[in-house]
Amino acid sequence: MTDVSADQLLSGLDAQQREAVTTTAAPLAIVASAGSGKTTVLARRIAYRIEEGSALPRHVVALTFTRDAAAEMKRRLRRLDLREPIEAGTFHSIALRLLRDRALANHHAPPQLANDRIRLLREVITQLQLRVEPYQAMTDLDWARARLVEPRRYEAAIRSERRRSTIPATRFVDFVEAYEQLKRRRGVVDFDDLLVHMLHALSTDPVWADGVRWRYRHFFVDEVQDLNPLQHAVLEGLRAGRPDLCLVGDPRQAIYGWNGADHTMLSEVEHRYPGITVVPLTSNYRCSPQVVQAAAAALSSAGQIDDTQSMQGSGRSVTVAQFADERAEAEAAAQHIRDLLHHRSGRQLAVLARTNDQITTLQRVFTTYGIATERTAGRSPLDQAVAAALRCTSREQLATWVEGAFADSDPLIQRVAEEADRYLTSGEPGTFRTWLESRTPFDDIDGGPSPDAVAMLTFHGAKGREWWGVVVVGAEEGMVPHSSASSQAQLAEEARLFYVALTRAEQHLHITHCATRNSRSVAPSRWLAAVVESISDDIPAPPPPRPSRAADPLVPYREWRAAIARASGQPERAVCSDRVLRSLQEAPPMSPEELASRLGITVTAAARLRPLPTA
């Protein structure tokens, strides 16, 4: 149960959102466009089902794509006053917790995550005398495992996907074998091992699997379009064919195919789950009509459809500008942001680029203009405090850091030090990173960026975030789409990535591109002409009518219940719950005997009740 009533949980929702929260359909897919209130709807659906009694908190699991998303979900649910906590986390963190519990129950050592995976990969590369960079090798390895590609099938798989591999395909089997042997010698696992081991345990340990499935009965999965086949296999292993499944996401924002994600997970959801109910959320409450129109035009020019409608009033026109080269573009972006800073705080503004190399150039220029910026990595004070603790390579070094951190005046540093001290005094095996992954102790902290700093992120890093004003740089061929995209699937993903970047802007969107980059002539992005055309069609319009709030079909039934409660001098919920009311509305009882059975009262008492409302 929650301390928030069902009526309060539905308050302020539009018709589509209300349906997504209240529908009894299972399985269910909520296809939520950018700015449609996806997180609000998902949190309220969980709380609504708990309030209605159709889900028990201890049996709920909410699976998310990132730790930030999991933390935000927990914060939203806390605000809804759930009396019992629910299990929410990434696939990897949930797997780590379950595998740790299983190991400890069997008196085995729990899995220990590798401290420095890059160092392990570098050792393997040196051993095999390969001429590849560790980070690139890690990308190839992670892609294959995420796609469930066996090492012996790797060469055929990359050929089929038209994927470039930094590891020679003929050496991939040797590479994987050497990496696995090294991990076994060190007694460590990596993140994907957690999912692989979890999947194996679910299929080979029926007693344990039955216990896990008893524990997890109500599944809520966020950002489904970003799931890879390995994660999907874990989800199906946990679900075991049971229908109580709610999938949430947006196929227009599927941008992780390069990392193994399967963009068809949601776009073809009706084929994957025959009989599934799909509820669309098409109202964008974040972006102005001009931003929505520009983003839709870009996506449409790539052969993909966006039916989103802005619920905001008419805003500023989207602007597009060309500059001679990347230096001139960066200086113009700095001047543009500096002008906006006269009216908005830095926290409300962002500059987005396709690659990290672009951001490095931009950041240098912004520094000369005296504009504070923050990048994705370590963007928040909490992230920086945690990173400082994780740089300690031994318990002794961490203990020394804790001693100094307790003397620091920064409350966030002290909070991290307290958690590190708990880890040190617990005597549990594993690293402090493993401790944090399994407990997520800082989910209650909103560790956002500095209010004075302008966000400077890649398109990928910007996903899930929003700003009043956004400058998107580098909208030219070679960047948008990126030169690495060669197949039709990769080009389609690049278009979605551009769409994600554009829809981060709430009111102010400025797009730039260069005539030359790296001393080479470049053409404007193939999708930019459609954006410019959408701007030329931009005619200021009055604010659209707010979507009608759906007439609640339960209102007359609640009035019926209230009258009975007043006459009998008991609380309304003692008469029956909203869930029972909905069943009465959807399938009216055919006799006093049936009404008595559904209300749990005698036939005589049911016959005395006032008649049920009629349609």
Q: Confidence band (pLDDT; 50, 70, 90) for 605? A: confident
Round to whole Å and give the CA distance between 175 and 126.
11
DSSP label at 317?
Answer: P
Q: Give strand ranges (E) for 49-113.
A: 60-64, 87-90
The residue whose two tokens read 């599934």 is 276
Sort 288 into a burial class: Cβ within 10 Å, 0-12 / 13-18 / 19+: buried
Q: What is the pLDDT of residues 323-358, one digit of tens each?
A: 999 999 999 999 999 999 998 989 899 999 999 899
Identify the CA nearest to 329 among candidates 472, 535, 440.
472
pLDDT > 90? residue 42: yes
Sign of CA dihedral 120, 125, 126, 132: negative
Round to whole Å and give the CA distance between 12 and 32.
17
pLDDT at position 497, please? 96
What are phi and psi for residue 320, nearest 5 degrees? Answer: -130, 135
Round to whole Å and give the CA distance between 396 and 393.
8
Q: What is the pLDDT of residues 18-28, one digit of tens each?
A: 999 999 999 99
pLDDT > 70? residue 367: yes
Higher pLDDT, 8 or 100: 100
Q: What is the pLDDT of residues 142-154, one digit of tens each?
A: 999 999 999 999 9
Tokens of 296: 């839709």
Identify the CA nearest to 310 among candidates 342, 327, 340, 285.
285
User: Domain 289-378+449-536 - what CATH class?
Assistant: alpha beta
Angle subtended by helix axes 592-599 and 578-586, to nearest 10: 150
**Quick one: average pLDDT of 69-85?**
80
Q: What percent of the chain has pLDDT over 90?
A: 53
pLDDT > 80? residue 563: no
333 touches 473 (CB < 8 A): yes
pLDDT > 80? residue 403: no
DSSP label at 342?
Answer: T
Q: Confidence band (pLDDT; 50, 70, 90) for 378? A: very low
In angstroms, what CA-CA distances link 171 with 125, 126, 131, 142, 320? 11, 13, 11, 16, 47
Round to whole Å and give the CA distance between 58 and 463.
31
The 454-458 sheet, strands edge to edge = 319-323, 505-514, 467-472, 349-353, 454-458, 373-374
Tokens of 281: 């959320």
CA dihedral angle for residue 157, residue 160, residue 163, residue 166, rounded to 10 degrees: 40
313 touches 542 (CB < 8 A): yes
**Quick one: average pLDDT of 168-195?**
93
Among 210-224, 416-430, 523-537, which stretch is predicted with the lowest mean pLDDT?
Answer: 416-430
Higher pLDDT, 425 or 317: 317
Pairing of strands 349-353, 467-472: parallel
pLDDT > 70? residue 450: no
Q: What is the pLDDT of residues 486-528, one digit of tens each?
A: 889 899 999 999 999 999 999 999 999 999 999 999 999 999 9
Q: Confidence band (pLDDT; 50, 70, 90) for 561? A: confident
Sort 32 into a burial class: Cβ within 10 Å, 0-12 / 13-18 / 19+: buried
Q: What is the pLDDT of residues 123-136, one digit of tens each?
A: 999 999 999 998 88
Tokens of 274: 């025959």
Q: How far apart are the first and last CA of the chain?
A: 30
Round to whole Å and give the CA distance between 190 and 179.
11
- Residue type, position 128, single letter: L
What are phi and psi for residue 90, nearest 5 degrees? Answer: -75, 165
pLDDT at position 514, please? 96
**Quick one: average pLDDT of 271-277?**
91
What are phi and psi for residue 562, nearest 5 degrees? Answer: -60, -40
pLDDT > 60? residue 550: no
Q: What percent of the chain has pLDDT over 70?
A: 92
Identify the CA nearest to 108 among candidates 208, 181, 196, 182.
208
267 touches 483 (CB < 8 A): no
75 touches 47 (CB < 8 A): no
pLDDT > 70? residue 223: yes
**Quick one: average pLDDT of 261-287?**
90
pLDDT > 90? residue 567: no
Higher pLDDT, 568 or 15: 15
Q: What angle do CA 176, 180, 184 make, to 5 degrees?
A: 170
Round to whole Å and give the CA distance between 320 and 231.
39
Pairing of strands 520-521, 516-517: antiparallel
pLDDT at position 377, please? 43
pLDDT > 80? residue 409: no
Q: What is the pTM of this model?
A: 0.77
pLDDT at position 442, please? 73
pLDDT at position 72, please? 81
Round to whole Å and give the CA distance between 482 and 476.
9
Among 199-203, 271-275, 552-556, which stretch is predicted with the lowest mean pLDDT?
Answer: 552-556
How many residues appear in the chain?
615
Q: What is the mean pLDDT of the chain?
A: 86
Higher pLDDT, 237 or 542: 237
Helices (H) then strands (E): counts for the chain: 29, 16
In angstroms, what CA-CA distances link 204 with 150, 197, 199, 209? 20, 10, 9, 8
Sort 551 into a burial class: Cβ within 10 Å, 0-12 / 13-18 / 19+: exposed
Round to whole Å and give the CA distance between 504 and 456.
13
pLDDT > 60? residue 485: yes
pLDDT at position 542, please? 52
Round to whole Å and give the CA distance between 240 and 335.
56
Q: Confidence band (pLDDT; 50, 70, 90) for 414? A: confident
In angstroms, what CA-CA distances link 331 with 54, 317, 368? 57, 22, 9
- Residue type, position 186, single letter: R
Q: Which CATH superfamily is domain 6-104+194-281 in?
A: P-loop containing nucleotide triphosphate hydrolases (3.40.50.300)
Q: What angle do CA 466, 471, 474 make, to 5 degrees?
A: 120
581 touches 556 (CB < 8 A): no
Among 152-161, 469-478, 556-565, which stretch is predicted with the lowest mean pLDDT?
Answer: 556-565
pLDDT > 90? residue 430: no
| Partners of 509 in beta bridges | 470
Higher pLDDT, 4 or 383: 383
Q: Confidence band (pLDDT; 50, 70, 90) for 575? A: confident
